[in-house]
Structure 1
């Protein structure tokens, strides 16, 4: 019995000891969990706010710019060709590559000997033709005088015949006398006809002489022009290019000697797409005389000129697309034919459009605007033009909105943001606020009890809380961290 009693007592003490150990372990575990929970407890989760750059959408009238590339050309370009064959006897001192010449300046002179000899022969032929014309006039004058005498003789013969007939009727004259008078009258008539023929021949001879004289004059004029063609002059002031003639060299008819270019009459030819070309047409389907700006980048220094569109190409080239336009340049200082330039065309004005950065528009044609509570909203817009790194858009309700200038994957509809004006300053907000004593003490207790804040930060925050007014941003952060 004694052994049983001692055994039960030992089991009882063992059970009590185990129970006390479990209770003590539970107390330790609870204390450790409370400690860990108290040390790791952080501020309540708060919503993340993104800072975004915004710009106010203001609709108005904009003049888009069309950018293209073109080549400078000369509106006045003339090939200097030889009008006569022969050897070159004289060249102008300015007849060289790149030289400037004035209007009517003698450039080239071809040997005029053969042409001068031909001119002298034709001058002699002209003298012969003039002499022949004078002789024909004199001959016609004589024929006309002979005709007048023959007609007078015919009138006398007619009177004599009439008298003999009258005498025969009265029985005084004879038949033989009448026949003799009639024969004389017939001979006079024949003489008149012969003289008329001579007058006609004289008139024909005069016509032939005048025709020959006119031909001689034409031939002489051609010879004089051929003589003038041996001297080649500049039709206008310009610059010589592609010069290939030397003094003493032989040239053939119509051989090209140089090219004369007017550097003051320049234009630019550039190609645009068909939609761009359609935008430059007016209501009457006529090409709008839009202003253009031409620039040539030369080692970082831009050579610029202005002009106006004058015409477009009549047809699209084979294998080409778009349209070729031509713009006359007003002042093209520093530009030369053949320069490859950038052309900026001012299109007709567009009304009720908003200019925004290109990064504000996404591929779906929407922009983000800052709505109520500084939360983002999505707004559909229609793209009108792209202008370098900017876009021109239209949209219902867009005017006056604050538009986010740069889209990022983190931004979307409903996200709270802090808009920043284009000047880089945040929207106006109260800088300092006054706190009640209870709230101030609560903030001080929380800062002193926090073990996550560095000592210098605690000191700076406690110093700020000791002032009559506390920065509003710090108060807002403390309230968010403390859940109220």
Structure 2
């Protein structure tokens, strides 16, 4: 009986081992499973056509349009100096700044007046003598055949007297001019930059007295590249150094913890291109009337020579242009446009200007199209994408 139980146990073990071996060696059937299609999502902005204007940035230092060295027109000692004849003082056009000793010039005027009176008397006498000579000749011409000479009729004497009178008048005008110039007046409204003379000092004709500037109009030379020159709105006449129409310029200055703004106009360019840098200067002018139009004079910052300003230059405009993020622009001026079937296609565009984080497109995109905001998110041309519309923060 024991040997029968052993055989049965052995058979059970062999059957279990065989079944296990069959299960291990038999390949399992793998049922196919459909995996969902992976569609990448991309951020898109809506193209909105509108008027866009090129904007250039530059900087420079203000200067007065008219800065001069004031000189004396006569010799003499300075006997009086106005309070406004001081560095930083403001003066108005016509204000008396200096007085030069005038005694010598008053004497010269008196002498010239005496010479003029003598010349007038001399002319009157000679003209009277000439009239007598003419009457005498009228009496004698019927008695004798005689042709009167100019000398007989006092003509040379009269001409000489007239020339002497003209010279006397000129001498008087010169003396009066010198006397007038002993009072030195401000040629314009402005400020004194530097004083070179003082009371009691002797000055000679043509000697500099002070440097001053006119506060009526300031200007600033703004460097721009020759490429940026093409963005100006008035192409005609640029080669001649003159713009065919004025260019609007916004000037900004920092002072007193505030940022001040003036609106200026540029009407001309510098006469040459800087050889070292390759830039040309756009010259913007800031007249007094434009400063007054922007608010109360007492509340506005007064421009001063040498003041540093930043500038935004308003260039030409494009009527039907589209602004997109600069990140939407790829190599070779291409952008991705998502069609109605949510497929993205690469498209060539015409770029008007790249400015900061935006790109102004003037061709290649239509109003209402969906533009991929980040070019690097495009898998490939023709790819199926899941567009996610975002606000165009750089749009119009």
TM range (shorter): 0.7 to 0.9
Measured after TM superposition, the shift of residue 225 of structure 1 is 0.4
CA displacement, residues 1-39 of structure 1 (integer Å, 9 cap, x when unaligned): xxxxx9xxx9x9999798568548759979xx99xxxxx
> In the alignment, is residue 221 of structure 1 matched against residue 221 of structure 2?
no
- 1:248-269 Cα shifts (integer Å, max 9, x gaps): 1222222222233232322332
For residues 84-141 of structure 1, the C-alpha deviation after alignment (integer angstroms, 9 at most, x for no partner) is 1222111111111121111211111122233233333333322332332233234334
> 2:270 is matched with which residue?
313
Contact 1:376/1:417 (<8 A) preserved: no
Correspondences of 1:268-417 after superposition (within 5 Å): 268-280=220-232, 282=234, 284-285=236-237, 287-298=244-255, 301-317=258-274, 319=276, 321-329=278-286, 331-332=290-291, 333-334=300-301, 335-372=303-340, 374-396=342-364, 398-408=366-376, 411-413=379-381, 414=383, 416-417=385-386
Where does residue 75 of structure 1 map in the other structure?
65
Higher strand share: 2
Following the alignment from structure 1 to structure 2, what is the Cα–Cα distance between the partners of residues 423 and 151? 110
Q: 2:91 aligns with which of 88, 97, 101?
A: 101
Rate the CA distance shift 1:406–1:320 in 2: closer, same or farther, 3 A.
Answer: closer
Instruction: Give a deviation string over 1:346-368, Cα, whole Å, max 9, x none.
Output: 22321332100111112332223
TM-score normalised by structure 2 residue count:
0.78
The residue aligned with 1:231 is 183
Q: Does 1:422 align with 2:373?
A: no
TM-score after normalising by structure 1? 0.65
Match of 2:295 in 1: none
* 1:350 counterpart SS class: strand
2:228 and 2:379 mapped to 1: Cα distance? Answer: 35
Task: Return the index of the structure with the highest Cα Rg.
Answer: 1
Cα RMSD for the two superposed structures: 3.8
Post-superposition shift, 1:384? Answer: 1.6
Q: Are the equivalent residues in 2 in contact too, given 1:71–1:340 (CA < 8 A)?
A: yes
Which SS does the other structure have where 1:348 is aligned? strand
> Can you give the 5+ residue segments of structure 2 that lack an aligned partner in the other structure?
238-242, 292-299
Give 1:457-476 correspondences, 5 Å limit.
Answer: none
Report the alpha carbon displacement of residue 390 of structure 1 after superposing the two structures with TM. Answer: 0.7
Q: Which runs of 5+ in 1 are unaligned?
A: 1-5, 35-42, 156-188, 425-484
Tell me which of 203, 210, 213 is aligned to 2:155.
203
Aligned CA distance change for structure 1 residues 356 and 418 (closer, same or farther; 3 Å):
closer
Which of 63, 72, 79 does residue 53 from structure 2 map onto? 63
* Whole-angstrom CA distance in 2 between matches of 1:229 and 1:240: 20
Match for residue 137 of structure 1?
127
Q: Does 1:111 align with 2:101?
A: yes
Q: Secondary structure at the match of 1:297?
A: strand
Secondary structure class of the residue paired with 1:63: strand
Matched, 1:245 2:213: no
- The alpha carbon displacement at 1:422 in A equals 2.0
More helix per residue: 1
Please give the alpha-carbon distance, in whole angstroms, between the structure 1 residues aligned to 2:230 and 2:345. 36
**How many correspondences in the alignment?**
371
Alignment of 1:435-454 (within 5 A): none
SS in 2 for 1:115: helix
Contact 1:129 1:209 in 2 (8 A): yes
Structure 1 370/132 Cα, relative in aligned 2: closer, same or farther at 3 Å?
Answer: same
Structure 1 CA distance, aligned partners of 2:129 and 2:166?
A: 20
8 Å contact from structure 1 (residues 385, 393) kept in 2: yes
Contact 2:46 2:392 in 1 (8 A): no
Matching residue of 1:443: none
